[in-house]
Amino acid sequence: MQGKTVVVTGGNSGIGLATAAALGAMGARVLITARNQARGEAARAALAQQIGASGSVELAVFDLGDLSSVRAGAAEILERCPTLDVLINNAGLILTTRAETVDGYEATFAINHLGPFLLTNLLVERLKTSAPARVVNVASTAHNQARRGIPFDDLQSVTHYAGMRVYGESKLANILFTNELARRLDPASVTANSLHPGTVRTGYGADGDTTGLLAIGIKIGQPLFASPEKGARTSVYLASSPEVASVSGRYFAKCKEKTPKRQARDTAAAQRLWSVSAELVGLAAGEGA
């Protein structure tokens, strides 16, 4: 990764932090994103000390739950990064109780899917001019929870909200987005793949995001979960390995290609989700893949 520039969203903690550390140690210039300045600065300092002279680490602060903030963050990345070799959409959350973003969208869907969707589309031309480049989207086997696919008639979960189901739908959206992005891009220029990192000891469900049985389950299960470093392995593999240099539109777990559930292989749903998402985030003509 010597000489490569990598952006890792949510790189201030958990899997994102471990991913940034690994790629920085391999020689990359890593730019992590965070929504909190203080936490981001603390993570950047810790990473810089850990990476040493091997690579470098920088910070961009913006909120994936605020579309205007995403646009500002993308503009900052484009200004600071003349080349962009890898974009890792890692940040995400799960909520027990329905909440809305400043744009009026259901928060889990907005932060886990719409924010990364917009960011990727705003950066895709820079990825193309830096070819060969890669997009890596952190999804999850939680997409199994979305047994009926994407609820296009209730994308904002207004009529019915269940935290784990909505989270699963957002992870399904990650895979469908990846598949459609891969279809739109020349794999010789930019590849796009998604992954399941495993169940990992991170800030997942912390900061009061989860309550009740879901919060209890996460707390009890923490000692059994994998380390962030182990959870980052597939992200690092997809970002750096020559074995997947021309592989695109696939889903991985434990650094191996896997077949996701049927609903994650629905081409029509992927195309429809792209169109709906582009409208929701306000992609203008000429923007995006």
Q: Choosing from 105, 161, 167, 237, which is the catalytic residue?
A: 167
Identify any residues that bridge with 226 across adjacent strands, giving them in sequence order.
Answer: 200
- H helices of the chain, in order, are 14-25, 37-51, 67-80, 107-109, 115-129, 163-184, 212-221, 228-231, 233-240, 267-281
Amino acid identity for residue 77 in this structure? I
State what percent of residues in the chain have pLDDT above 70.
91
Which long-range CB contacts under 8 A does 213-219 form with residues at least 24 apart? 214/94, 214/96, 214/163, 214/164, 215/96
Q: Closest Cα partner for 202 from 10, 3, 9, 1? A: 10
- Average pLDDT (114-140) is 98
Cis peptide before 242 (omega within 30 of 0): no
Reported as a single tens digit per residue, the pLDDT across 63-118 is 999 999 999 999 999 999 999 999 999 999 999 999 999 999 999 999 999 999 99
Contact 25, 104 (CB under 8 A): no
pLDDT at 153: 97
Stretch 23-32: mean pLDDT:
98
Whether 105 is catalytic is no
- For range 245-254, the mean pLDDT: 97
Q: Which two tokens stand for residue 52?
A: 């040493």
Q: 3-class DSSP state for residue 1?
A: coil
Q: What is the pLDDT of residue 198?
A: 84
Over the stretch 186-242, which tens digit does the pLDDT of each residue have?
Answer: 999 999 999 999 875 565 544 554 445 444 444 544 555 568 899 999 999 999 999
Task: Determine the residue type at 65.
Answer: G
Q: Which residue, among 59, 48, 64, has the nearest Cα to 81 in the 3D structure?
A: 59
Closest CA to 17 of 53, 54, 59: 59
Q: Across residues 268-283, what is the average pLDDT?
A: 98
Q: Confidence class of residue 145 from pLDDT cuts 50, 70 and 90?
A: very high
Q: Calculate mean pLDDT across residues 10-16.
A: 95
Give pTM, 2 decimals: 0.91
28 Cα distance to chain centroid: 19
β-strand pairing of 86-89 with 56-61:
unpaired
Q: How far is CA 206 from CA 67, 94, 105, 245, in A?
A: 23, 9, 21, 35
